[in-house]
Amino acid sequence: MAVLSPLSVSLALAMVAAGAKGATLEQMASCLKLPHGDLMHKFSAHLKEVLKVDAGKHGLELSCANSLWVDESVHLKSSFQSELKQSYGAEAAPADFQHKAEEARGKVNEWAEDETHGKIANILPPDSVSSDTRMILANAIHFKGAWKKPFYESSTEEHDFFLPNGKTIQVPMMQTMTDQYVKSYPTFKALRLPYKFPDSTWSFSMFVLLPHDKNGLRAMEESLNTQSVVDDLAHLEHKIPMRRFQLPKFKILFGLEMSDTLKLLGMELPFGDHADLSYMTEGTQGPSLKVSSVRHKAFVEVNEKGTEAAALTTVEMVTKCMPMYTEDSDFVADHPFMFLIKEESSNTILFTGRVLDPSKEQ
């Protein structure tokens, strides 16, 4: 079981990229698949606008917050502070990492839990912040949306779900006879579940990608061109009658330290002593910085009413030392599947994850 927010990771690292230059910036831009310099930050500012949703007006909650905590020994360049404030809405808060690291960790965790409406606690575990820490940048995203057509709780029943190890368990399956947006590909089916949102400017949906083969999730993920599928799914507007429709309720809380993964993706320089983050700090007297850790934690819950999801990404800084379409009237998610939550007008993926066992949270 796993869930991630690519958007949260990208925004947190884009803030770091605002202070990078040369080969370090090149690696970060390539890894994030975002344009260099001003275009990167203008795009991030646009995403911030996408995430400004009036919950009271539309019944859908979506919020994004960025922040950074800086040790008193670090003096940020005014240009870096201005970029973070203008493009990311982030302002620097003072912290005494050198003498009160545990107190600073508590402040970051408190901010994170508050911004994710209590869904993500302890993003920074014990001993993750030390006297060597000089800066922490963070992004938090919270999403809560009701289905455009909710499922009836009275229709939810226990049904079989096939696990990767070949065993079968009983899980609560949501069911409906309502027409659904479903498309069939050679190796999987795609389901689009729109969220209630009357504003024509933005459009939010969950997409479920269900392999035809009960053990086909890994093969599907390995062969999947996610961007191509996402682009194609943007046109999934053809509803078909459902003969059988079952989707399990599920709840996932998942966290990981991403440094090794990012290095494998080609972002090595920001973590090493050759990191060039000189656009971040003033003068030559202050400490030269590098990234020491990138932590990500995400939560999602899907039930008859809709979805609630949250994500938190922190970056800690230390000193150096498609296919043909065919109709199908069944969509029975009784085996492992992948899901996406995205804003369709901008094609922005907010969350992505996989469900291996709906009966477990982690």
Task: Provide the whole-model pTM.
Answer: 0.89
Q: Give the helix ranges, DSSP H, for 234-314.
A: 259-264
Same domain? 206 vs 133: no
Rounded Cα distance, 316 and 198, in Å: 39
Same domain? 43 vs 135: yes
Same domain? 38 vs 58: yes
- Mean pLDDT computed over 179-205: 85
H-run or E-run covering 221: helix 217-223
Cβ-based neighbour number of residue 292 at 10 Å: 19
Asked if 135 contacts 92 with a C-beta cutoff of 8 angstroms, the reply is: no
Q: What is the pLDDT of residue 175?
A: 94
Same domain? 16 vs 120: yes
Same domain? 27 vs 105: yes
Here the CATH number for the domain that contains residue 179 is: 2.30.39.10
Percent of the chain with pLDDT over 90: 63
261-312 confidence digits (pLDDT tens) = 999 999 999 999 999 999 998 865 456 899 999 999 999 999 999 999 999 9
The whole domain housing 31 covers 2-145+251-319
- pLDDT-derived band at 321 (thresholds 50, 70, 90) equals low
Query: Does residue 361 belong to any structural domain of this protein?
Result: no
Q: Which of 146-160, 257-271, 298-312, 342-356 has the lowest mean pLDDT?
A: 342-356
Asked if 27 contacts 269 with a C-beta cutoff of 8 angstroms, the reply is: yes
Per DSSP, 147 falls in state B
Same domain? 106 vs 27: yes
Same domain? 21 vs 94: yes
Cβ-based neighbour number of residue 64 at 10 Å: 24
| Nearest C-alpha neighbor of 171 from the set 184, 161, 183, 186 | 161
Instruction: Report the domain count for the chain.
Output: 2
Query: Does residue 60 belong to any structural domain of this protein?
Result: yes
Same domain? 158 vs 206: yes
Here the CATH number for the domain that contains residue 87 is: 3.30.497.10
Between 57 and 139, the more confident residue is: 139
Same domain? 194 vs 327: yes
Same domain? 132 vs 258: yes
